[in-house]
A and B are shown apart, each in its own frame.
Chain A
Amino acid sequence: MNVNFEIAKTHLLAKPRQTLIAMLGVTFGIGMYILMISFMQGFNEFLQDTLLSSTPDIKIYNDIKTDFSHSILDEIYDTSKTMNVVHHPKPKDITPNIKSSARIIEDLKSDERVLAVSPVLSTQVFYVSGPVQINGTLSGVNILEEAQLTGLVSKMKTGKIENLLTIDNGILMGHSLANKLNVRTGDIVTLATPNGTSMRFRVVGTFQFGVGTLDNVKCYVNLSKVQQLVGKDNQYVTDIGIKLKNYELATEIAAEFANRYGYKADDWKTTNASAMVSILIRNVMTIVVSFTLLAVAGFGIYNIMSMTIQNKLKDIAILKAEGFSSGDIRTIFLTESVTIGVLGALTGLLLGFAMSSGVYSLPFPKNDFISITHFPVVFHTKHYLFGLAFGIITTFLAGLMPSIRAGKVDPVAILRG
């Protein structure tokens, strides 16, 4: 073993308690970093998965605006001298559907970036079962196409999606909604539209996306049934859902589609904007807290190394007299702090893994909005590698300044006394 390393080792072992305390600073910092990132990332991934499985990558729909700021009169009568006033403007009765939806769907299907397309007719309805009335949204879909867009198949709680095709007037119902209506698979439920029409459906399955805003309000029936319910033709759809081969490209492609078809197109990030913001905030928080923890550990090491070197001025002087160069002295003390860093980081990884495993086994408090049984925690190798590297770099930097100072010690001043 190189004599510099041997001296560093002896120094570390001569004061085991001090070494251990310096190490524990790093251990705790890295451990908490691993716990934070595993848990936060786990929650983010869980949330993103849920969002992706419950919303299409891109949704094209007719965004109806009632804008009275501009009147067609202005194009006929000069407004430079007079002002045109329209009393009690009332918008024309507009149907919110996507015109020539069949052509758009054909066009989308020929686009090679698109994996699947599903036409949807959404409408507000009242669910009536005996005395209970709950309002919600009804989606008329071709269930096999819709299943390609979302994770519906894996989210089925009871029944199968194919039941919609085999059973006349079948309905797939959100699990929480079914609970509120007190209906089960096989029960009959009445749906009433705002226009006053109503229709009876038989519950053939329930689903649970784990998102309260869906499970509490949403139902699926066959597209043709909804068209019948609202009294429209078989081309009448309000939304077109699209699944892409690469969902990361959704933002750019959505803009392109909006431009091409003249309808509004939202990518999944826009649809779930509030959730995306919370993901971002969690990421930032994780980074800030982890950095703070490691910086504190770094200052601890800086302190301990500075004190050690202050106590070892005589030893440094005699080593220099014996023929050790400034570089050798630097190496000795830098080795000490990096050793503390490596050992601290490794035990920190273990601690982090143990704590993450502990959190992973904890049951998640039951609630209506997210359906998970335990805390979501991920175990990614890259987090552990990053933690190790970060720990070593921090202690290296913390040890660097005291070590450089140790190297600059003037032996004459100390040996002369």
Chain B
Amino acid sequence: MQKENNKISDETKASPSGRFGGAAVLKAVSLNKFFYEPEEFHVLKNVSFEVKKGEFVSIVGKSGCGKSTLLYLLSTMDTDYTGEVFVNDVLLTGKTQNELAKFRNEHIGFVFQFHFLLPEFSALKNVMIPIQKLGKYSTSECEDRAYEKLKWLDMQNFATKLSSKLSGGQQQRVAIARALVNDPTIIMGDEPTGNLDSTNTKIVFEILKDISKNKGQTIIAVTHDLEFAENTDRIIEMKDGEIIRQ
């Protein structure tokens, strides 16, 4: 496995137009971040890397190595850092919160360890909200698109159920449908399988793999699960705020 991963990273280094050719979808340039509470702490030290279109990348490392912090920097929700983040060659660093919110809505989908579905809404409505926010489609079109995503995840039978009434695996699938509904450029996962049993972990992994392979969407997932990581296209390993392997 180790060898194979090295091979992939060597490949990407040697020929950018290898398996994941073309321009980088995501580019991070010398990211630095400090925590000031409870005491000053250098979380990310000069982190730079690129992710190509359609790549399924996992970020691994011990607790406190800065992998989640890095993910939330890339997600545009955390803007308190130095360095530059590009998505599709657009510089996101320095944009206003409102511009970033709009950008997230259109280009970034999130899957978290916990599903974070809105409990008062049905599964379908949870998936619909981001696409309604996009404001490009009529309500019925939004509903069709959301339903299509649920169907793709084999959740169409639960569309009208309240999200709080679904099982853990079902909820995570609805959450994935929600992340996919605007066909985002990048899907970011923070321990997407961290709260699931092995069966559901497998299902979710297969779904993610399928997305990156067949739909060409880029996936970046932070994980503790080494088995999960080893099956991704590339592993970025972090230690003490630095990338030690990619």
Residues of A close to B110: CB separation below 8 A? 318, 321-322, 415
> Cβ of B78 and Cβ of A317 under 8 Å apart?
no
Docked CA distance A321–B184 (Å) = 13
The answer to whether residues A322 and B133 also contact, given A10-B120, A10-B121, A327-B98 and a CB cut-off of 8 A, is: yes
Residues of A close to B130: CB separation below 8 A? 322-323
| A–B Cβ pairs within 8 angstroms, 7 of them | A7-B129, A321-B77, A322-B178, A328-B133, A415-B110, A415-B190, A417-B113
B17 at the interface (CB under 8 A from A): no
> Cβ of A323 and Cβ of B106 under 8 Å apart?
yes
B163 to chain A, nearest CB (A): 11
> Cβ of A326 and Cβ of B97 under 8 Å apart?
yes
Q: Which of A329-348 contact B (CB under 8 A)?
A: none
Given A10-B120, A317-B116, 11 more A-B residue pairs with CB atoms under 8 Å apart are: A7-B129, A318-B116, A318-B118, A321-B77, A322-B105, A323-B133, A323-B134, A324-B101, A325-B98, A328-B101, A328-B133
A14 at the interface (CB under 8 A from B): yes
Q: Which size bracket describes the interface of B in this complex? A: 20 to 34
Most chain A CB inside 10 Å of its own CB: which residue of B97, B118, B139: B118
Binding site for B on A (CB under 8 A): 1, 3, 6-7, 10-11, 14, 314-315, 317-328, 411-412, 415-417
Who on chain B is nearest to A6 by CB?
B132
Binding site for A on B (CB under 8 A): 68, 72, 75, 77-78, 97-98, 101-106, 110, 112-114, 116-121, 125, 129-130, 132-134, 139, 178, 190
Docked CA distance A326–B110 (Å) = 18
B131 to chain A, nearest CB (A): 9
Docked CA distance A320–B75 (Å) = 11
Docked CA distance A188–B113 (Å) = 103
Docked CA distance A411–B101 (Å) = 12
A101 to chain B, nearest CB (A): 81
Taking chain B's interface residues, is the majority helix, strand, or loop, or is none over half, making it mixed?
A: helix
The answer to whether residues A416 and B97 also contact, given A322-B104, A322-B133, A323-B105 and a CB cut-off of 8 A, is: no
Who on chain B is nearest to A1 by CB?
B139
> Cβ of A3 and Cβ of B97 under 8 Å apart?
no
A154 to chain B, nearest CB (A): 63
Who on chain A is nearest to B72 by CB?
A412
Docked CA distance A7–B120 (Å) = 9
> Cβ of A415 and Cβ of B116 under 8 Å apart?
yes
B79 to chain A, nearest CB (A): 10
Residues of B close to A328: CB separation below 8 A? 101, 133
Q: Which of B77, B97, B104 contacts A412 (CB 8 A)?
A: B77
Q: Which of A314, A319, A416 contacts B68 (CB 8 A)?
A: A416
> Cβ of B101 and Cβ of A325 under 8 Å apart?
yes
> Cβ of A325 and Cβ of B75 under 8 Å apart?
no
Residues of A close to B75: CB separation below 8 A? 321
Residues of B close to A323: CB separation below 8 A? 101-106, 130, 133-134
A260 to chain B, nearest CB (A): 71
> Cβ of B72 and Cβ of A3 under 8 Å apart?
no
The answer to whether residues A314 and B116 also contact, given A323-B102, A323-B106, A325-B97 and a CB cut-off of 8 A, is: yes
Most chain A CB inside 10 Å of its own CB: which residue of B98, B101, B113: B101
Q: Which of A7, A327, A411 contacts B77 (CB 8 A)?
A: A411
A195 to chain B, nearest CB (A): 90
Docked CA distance A415–B114 (Å) = 9
Residues of A close to B116: CB separation below 8 A? 314-315, 317-318, 321, 415
Docked CA distance A417–B102 (Å) = 24
A10 to chain B, nearest CB (A): 5
Residues of B close to A3: CB separation below 8 A? 129, 132-133
Docked CA distance A411–B97 (Å) = 12
Residues of B close to A322: CB separation below 8 A? 104-105, 110, 129-130, 133, 178
